[in-house]
A and B are shown apart, each in its own frame.
Chain A
């Protein structure tokens, strides 16, 4: 396709929000252009070079090049930060995700009704039901390939079987199961967006363990790069243009989206005109794009008559604890078999809804048990930071010897509700520009006190499970609670039926701008207490069906 061209659909972003729309519409006959800011990596680019991939700018840009800025807890001045970026490449955050694939629950979509509201928080019910989403969860899981086993978690809604059997866990999962059950919990195998056996042309996982923060060199992780985008391109009707930074959504005098402007890899300004414009650049970047598209008729940005673009930014409330176990004691109990496996694969959702806990809200969260990430540099740096950097020299080397040869670290992460409220939003930084001379997104971060309280409670419960594991841990300690998982982001263009209180309608089309859709996590009025990637995928398939019917 030539530049300045006319297509049916232009999609900004190629991750969980963009790829399902691109694939679905291309397969239904539409001509689609996908504009992706990042590079188009192939699996040959995905090495196990921890420095290049995880600690430099392979996925996340350098501060001096392309920053976000952040103001924490009401600070006046903002500081450049790398927080809030997801991977900048074709496939987006799905390329470097860990792939924990939980579905939302009914409570997630009805939090306001079920609670009657939470003081200070601006929660809203979703304008669709879980029943409406379920078929698209099924569709998304089948399309990308998800491994798991249905019917074990009593807190899950009834569902059809997973497309693939569960991944193989490390034997220590036995100990977590025993400990959790002894306390009355119901552990279940963590569903993963990784193919546990051959799936189409993709080979099964080779259990290298380097999922989170890495691209999968095996093609087994179910990124959109490995699963959906090849199908989209195979239609011959979907073109993916990488290294293209979209700078403006074009809107005509009738408030209809007609295309986008973008800066290509040579730095030249280009445009694509389309009957439908879909924005899926991440909750932070999509809001930024709508705000950057301001003009004389839309001084506060487009699709923003409600004033809510960028508001109600939510992440995932984060807590983490670590149990350090003696490797020999574990081997003595379980034997040496399969001790090289990298995944623990156990989750607990007994505390997802906790009205009797006496906390500021009845919404709890998910415990995800896992082994410490196998990255050696990350581990060694953590050994230093855990001592406030006071351990160095021979004591540090001794500590490394112990960690790598004598210990097993069992950890849990808490995914908790991150409450939308006035303290957390994204806007345009009035000073800092990126390498295209565009104003960067400024994250204004303040955690709602109730969410911190709940997360602290959940983290303590997770520590109880670690403490119940036999053989007893050498040490059990919290790592953090009440924190923020920045790469899980939502809410900046919430959907709803009332244009005065939402940016998007229930089909994720902008109330104010015809033919403009937003399909990343922006649409979510509440965060849920699980990573949102499968929900974003499912919703994107749902919106794609709406657009398909409309185009027809």
Chain B
């Protein structure tokens, strides 16, 4: 799964990179609809086990998110300016997901069961990664600089953005997220809404 995702990232990056050359240097001044990824994919530079961990984590956070393109979405945004620290956080976070999974379940995160993955993510949500890793560390426990809770919140947010945001950023494949939440809302195409309005005599004002 991880290899397939990586290959897909390479392929899409190559295709989009050609089209994106014209936009180099214009971000963020360029019109939003003109933006395209412009450099080799960020995730393609990570070891496959970390990519697999992040992909599995998005799926564990929101079932269906991985198939909807969560990793492509994350890859897109990690190539934009102003997110270098975020990219570093995700990279370290992927490593820590695997470490905690190894401690708790003797497997990398992507190979854990759904229940085991939920347990691992719960450790991040409770910001208890240091305590968990201290179980196997020799010597006294020490606090790491890794912000486990911050990583978890960021990953949840990115996953939800990928599932419910504009498909042009790589997620919400086939608008699956918008299908899920129902089309009766109108944030993508409001023009018809005016025709739905009739005066309601029960409401004088």
Closest to B152 in A: A389
Chain A CB within 10 Å — which of B152, B157, B169 has the most? Answer: B157
User: How far is it, in angstroms, between the C-alpha of A234 and the C-alpha of B87 when the chains are bound?
Assistant: 47
Contact between B165 and A51 (Cβ–Cβ < 8 Å)?
yes
Residues of A within 8 A of B186 (CB): 208-209, 340, 342, 374
B15-42: CB near A (< 8 Å → 1, else 0) gives: 0000000000000110111000000000
CB-CB under 8 A for A338 and B197, given A375-B187, A392-B156, A404-B181:
yes
Q: How many residues of B contact A (CB 8 A)?
A: 52
Q: A376 to B160: give the CA distance in the assembly, Å.
A: 9
The answer, yes or no, to whether A405 is at the interface (CB within 8 Å) is yes
A390 at the interface (CB under 8 A from B): yes
Interface hit among B57-65, B92-100, B103-111, B139-147: B57-65
| Bound-complex Cα distance A65 to B62 (A) | 32
Given known pairs A376-B187, A389-B152, the reply for A51 and B63 (CB within 8 Å) is no
One of B62, B185, B193 near A392 (C-beta < 8 A): B62
User: Can you name 11 extra interface pairs (CB under 8 A) apart from A49-B166, A400-B180?
Assistant: A48-B188, A65-B82, A168-B197, A171-B203, A337-B198, A374-B186, A376-B181, A377-B165, A389-B149, A390-B122, A393-B62
Interface residue A396 (Cβ < 8 Å from any Cβ of B): yes
A404 vs B183: C-alpha distance in the bound complex, in angstroms? 10
Decide: A173 and B203 in contact? CB cutoff 8 A.
yes
Is A142 among interface residues, defined by CB-CB distance under 8 A?
no
Q: In the bound complex, how far is the Cα of B28 from the Cα of A200, in angstroms?
A: 34
Encoded as 1 (CB less than 8 Å from any A CB) or 0, chain B from 141 to 182 comes to 000000001001100110011011110010000000110111
In the assembled complex, which residues on chain B have CB atoms less than 8 Å from the CB atom of A337? 198, 200
Selected A-B contacts with CB under 8 Å, 25 pairs: A45-B32, A47-B32, A48-B187, A50-B187, A51-B161, A57-B28, A189-B205, A204-B194, A207-B197, A208-B186, A338-B197, A340-B193, A340-B196, A342-B186, A374-B186, A374-B187, A376-B164, A380-B164, A384-B160, A389-B152, A389-B156, A390-B125, A393-B61, A393-B121, A397-B63
Per-residue B-contact encoding for A166-177, CB less than 8 Å = 1, 0 else: 101101011000
Chain A, range 385-404, C-beta contacts under 8 Å to B: 388-390, 392-394, 396-397, 400-401, 404
Contact B193 A393 (CB under 8 A): no
Find the B residue at minimum CB distance from A45.
B31
Tell me if A119 counts as interface (CB < 8 A to partner B): no
State in angstroms the CA–CA spacing of A401 and B125 once bound together: 22
Per the 8 Å Cβ criterion, residues 42-68 of A in contact with B are 45, 47-52, 55-58, 62-65
Shortest Cβ-Cβ A-B pairs, 4 listed: A208-B190, A404-B181, A62-B82, A51-B165
A118 to chain B, nearest CB (A): 36
With A and B bound together, what is the CA distance between A397 and B189 in angstroms?
24
Cβ of B191 under 8 Å from chain A: yes
Q: Is B135 an interface residue (CB 8 A)?
A: no
B128 within 8 Å of A by Cβ? no
CA distance A438 to B61 in the complex (A): 42
- Say if the beta carbon of A206 comes within 8 Å of chain B: yes
Q: Closest residue to A401 on the B side, CB-wise?
A: B180
Known: A338-B196, A376-B185. A210 touches B190 (CB 8 A): yes
Chain A residue nearest to B169 (CB atoms) is: A51
B114 lies within 8 A of chain A by Cβ? yes
Residues of B within 8 A of A (CB): 28-29, 31-33, 60-64, 81-82, 114, 118, 121-122, 125, 149, 152-153, 156-157, 160-161, 163-166, 169, 177-178, 180-182, 184-191, 193-194, 196-200, 202-203, 205
- A49 and B32: CB pair below 8 A? yes
Q: Which of A217, A218, A405 lies in contact with B182, CB distance below 8 A?
A: A405
Kindly state whether residue A500 has any CB partner on chain B within 8 Å: no
Contacts of B184 in A (CB 8 A): 340
Question: Could you give, for residues 190-210 of chain A, a 1 whenever the CB lies within 8 Å of some chain B CB and a 0 otherwise?
Answer: 000000000000001111111
B62 touches A396 (CB 8 A): yes
The interface residues of chain B lying within 8 Å CB-to-CB of A49 are 32, 165-166
For the side of the interface on A, what is the size category? 35 or more
**A381 sits at the interface (CB 8 A):** yes
Give the complex CA separation of A39 and B178 in angstroms: 31
Assembled-state Cα–Cα distance A229/B81 (Å): 32
- Which residues on A sit within 8 Å (CB–CB) of B189? 48
Q: Which residues of A contact B182 (CB under 8 A)?
A: 404-405
Let me know if A152 and B205 touch, CB within 8 A: yes
Q: Which residues of B contact A64 (CB under 8 A)?
A: 82
In the complex, whether A341 has a CB less than 8 A from a CB of chain B is yes
Note all chain B residues with C-beta closer than 8 A to A62. 81-82
Looking across the interface, which residue of chain A has its beta carbon closest to that of B194? A206
Q: How long is the Cα–Cα vector from A56 to B29 in the complex, in angstroms?
A: 13
| B200 and A171 contacting across the interface, CB-CB below 8 Å | yes
Residue of A nearest to B202 (CB): A174
Q: Is A329 positioned at the interface, with any CB of B under 8 Å from its CB?
A: no
Residues of B within 8 A of A204 (CB): 194
Residue among B166, B190, B205 with max Cβ neighbours from chain A (10 Å): B205
Say whether A384 contacts B156, CB under 8 Å. Answer: yes
Q: Is the CB of B161 within 8 A of A389?
A: no
Q: Which of B32, B118, B153, B187 contacts A393 (CB 8 A)?
A: B118
CA distance A532 to B28 in the complex (A): 31
Tell me, yes or no, whether A149 is within 8 Å of chain B by CB. Answer: yes
Contacts A341-B197, A394-B63 given; does A377 touch B161 at CB 8 Å:
yes
- Bound CA span A216–B64, Å: 33
CA of A208 to CA of B186, assembled, Å: 6
